[in-house]
Amino acid sequence: MERGTAGPGTVAITGAAGSIGAVVRRALRGEVGRLVLLDRVPLEAETANEAVHTVDLLDPTALESALVGVDAVLHLGGIADEAPLPDLLQVNVLGTHHVLEAARRLAIPRVVLAGSNRVAGFYPTAHRTNSQDPVRPDGLYGVSKAAVEALGQLYADKFGLSVLCLRIGSFEEAPSEPRHLATWLSPRDAIGFCRAALTAAPAPGFTTVYAVSANSRRFWELPAPFELAYTPVDNAEDHAAHIPGADVPADPTAAQAGPYARPEFTLKHLRP
């Protein structure tokens, strides 16, 4: 799908009211036939080809109704940070199960899942992490995203769905802290990864790839062309002069997750 040309007929975005959803929505609505936007937060259609649904991911019946006639789903809805495990299991894991179930029952050709770099945040910064490396979650949120990937793999292997998971980096307008020099995902590259993932020819199978900008200091492998046909264009290094501490060399033994790997980050969601 090139910019300005007709793409897949109908694309659905869950979590369309969120920070990534809003950006991808604006980019895709001029490119696809119809955009179906779902969130538990009410949205308003802004163009004639947008349809909006106020739906909770925990309501499988309403979710399936909203997805009737859809050609590809971009599943961004969920809890995007550390939280109590019961909440993460409900919204991220069960919610993803409901999306994949709707895709199976409705024979939706393509599902794109929002994974996270935090599924493997305990690798040290000196390690070049590949999406094939075993998971090393840096917290409960990372555990929920490992389950999201496992569900995607299951639905591909068992039911022949075409599922691609994007392990999203740090989605920010601009990088603002030293860790972002490695992990930044620019809005332009987020759109590029999502567009490529949604428009890849739907072949049965599961793929998981990192979605990160072309940062000189990144510690994650970019997708191989056969995995996903998108080459990121932005580089956090171009912003380094404005980032305090950018000139301090990264500790090669420190966790890639940085502060998220600290016990306190998770302990606040556990009983004392």
Q: Which residues are catalytic?
A: 141
171 sits near ligand NAD (criterion: CB under 6 A): yes
| Phi/psi at 253 (5° precision) | -95, -10
Residue 167 phi/psi, 5-degree rounding, is: -80, 95
**Binding to ligand NAD by residue 39, rule CB under 6 A?**
yes
Rounded-to-integer distance, Cα 16 and Cα 45, Å: 11
- 178 binding ligand NAD? (CB under 6 A): no
Among 9, 30, 47, 58, binds ligand NAD (CB under 6 A): 58
| Closest to 12 in 3D by CA, of 68, 57, 56, 62 | 68
Q: How far is the CB of 135 from ligand NAD (least distance, A)?
A: 14
Question: What's the CA gap between 149 and 72, in Å, rounded?
Answer: 18
CB of 4 to ligand NAD, least distance (A): 25
d(CA 167, CA 68): 27
91 Cβ contact partners less than 8 Å away, ≥ 6 residues apart: 57, 58, 77, 78, 79
Residue 209 half-sphere exposure, CB side, CA atoms within 13 Å?
Answer: 24
Q: Which of residues 61-120 bind ligand NAD (CB under 6 A)?
A: 76-78, 80, 91, 95, 114, 116
Helix, strand, or coil (residue 119) = helix
Under rule CB under 6 A, residue 170 binds ligand NAD:
yes
**Based on CB atoms, which residue is closest to ligand NAD, 116 or 131?**
116
Q: Is 142 an interacting residue with respect to ligand NAD (CB under 6 A)?
A: no
Q: Binding residues for ligand NAD, how many (CB under 6 A)?
A: 23
Contact positions toward ligand NAD, by CB under 6 A?
Answer: 15, 17-21, 39-41, 56-58, 76-78, 80, 91, 95, 114, 116, 168, 170-171
